[in-house]
Amino acid sequence: MAQTLVFLFYNPLSPEDPEKYGLKAMESMGARCQFWVLLPLMSQHRPLEPGPEWVLDWADLDHRFAALEPEALFVDFFGGLSAWVGPMERVYRRMKAFGFRYVIPNLAPLPIAVPLVSSGLERGRFSRRLAKLKGLNKKRFKDLWTSRLVLLLKRATQIYPKPVQVFSLDNETLDQYCYRNQFPKELVVPIHSMDYDRFLAYRNSTPKAHPQKVCVFLDQAFTHHPDLKQILGQDPAKGAEAYLKKMNRLFGEIESKTGLKVVIAAHPRSQYDKLGNPFEERELVKGSTLEWVDRSQMVVAHWSTSVGLAALFGKPLLIAWVAGSHPLTRTLAHKLNTSLIDLERPEELDHFNLEQFPFRATDYTSYIRHYLKSEQAPAEQSCWQIMGPQLLKL
């Protein structure tokens, strides 16, 4: 009998995601794949026309568990290596109650700022934790203590399942997960990231592009991305006018000082075809980000896994900070060994040396090793070529 794999996701998938997240790859290897979207369990969001993948409530979750054969294996893109917050822990509790197994593939790692806490007393540890609590809203405060309680329960009880396998690059996210969950790091299977998979497939099928006088902006649909509302509770339209004014000023400065044409690589979940082009009629492209990064001379981005494409292609990367940016954006720029410009401080743009930026030397060696391409995994194999045969044996 073919192995049944159930992929767990927080959010609904875009048309490109079944390929990115391995459903198509595993089906090509003979697995029977399905995916569940768990967003309704985490929030009040309900789709107007839910597809069969939407898990609408806890009774629906239990019904789905009961209908599966006992040998089914869950592929966890829901909680992954992160701490479980809110009702997330209940999903795994129910999984354990039904006797199912799961694996964690960590395919899109990004830097985190929290260092691994060593054993013993650490100077200033209490004061730093106290400072971290300041400014937490009610939801985040509740999530923080829920995650701490879950960690205690994981260590003291058997109510949660342990992953039968973890696939990951070697970075601080993995270190933190292994420490907190007492998972032996030597049992982790090294893999590459999904962005390296995309890069590898592109490199093996496309002649190297000739550089063009182009700067690519890796758009995040900052003004209308649905995740901002569904997950973070933020209104993506709030501040849109101010955001676009700052970004368009940056793009204008780049064009005037470098002679490069700024092209907007639209986020896969963007809706500019419906909302219109807010980037002063600059060219918008969608579904061809790799091609444009390859032929570019400079890349601009915020906080996104897609910054890895700039690193893999060796392009000078400028990280733009704006109000509402992810709090770890500065950490990302530091790990990439690249420049960050704070657009909330107009004087920074006035004095930033954009003229020479497209010619600056890059060194992404450390970032590639820890977040994109594992030195312990076969360089010419995709993550699903590495993971697939192992999943079919579990």
Domain locations in the chain as residue ranges: 4-118+147-192+374-393, 197-371
- CATH number of this structure's domain 197-371, picked from the four choices 1.10.620.20, 3.40.50.2000, 3.30.40.230, 3.40.605.10: 3.40.50.2000
Architecture of domain 4-118+147-192+374-393: 3-Layer(aba) Sandwich (3.40)
pTM of structure: 0.86
Tokens (6 digits) for 305: 């896994």
- Output the pLDDT for position 21: 95
Query: What span, in angstroms and rounded, lies between the C-alpha atoms of 310 and 199?
Result: 10
Q: What is the pLDDT of residue 113?
A: 65
Would you list the DSSP string of 184-231?
Answer: -GGGPEE---HHHHHHHHHHHHSPPPPP-SEEEEE---TTT-HHHHHT
Per-residue model confidence (pLDDT) at position 50: 86
Is there a shared CATH topology between the 4-118+147-192+374-393 domain and the 197-371 domain?
A: yes
Whole-angstrom Cα distance, residue 198 to residue 382?
9
Q: Distance between CA 147 and CA 134 in Å, rounded?
A: 18
Mean pLDDT of residues grouped by 10 in the chain (394 residues)?
Answer: 90 88 96 96 82 95 97 97 90 97 96 54 44 53 73 85 96 94 94 96 90 94 60 53 92 97 91 88 94 97 94 97 89 95 94 94 96 96 96 94
Return the pLDDT at 140: 63
pLDDT value, residue 174: 96
Distances (CA, A) of 126 to 84, 129, 138: 23, 5, 21
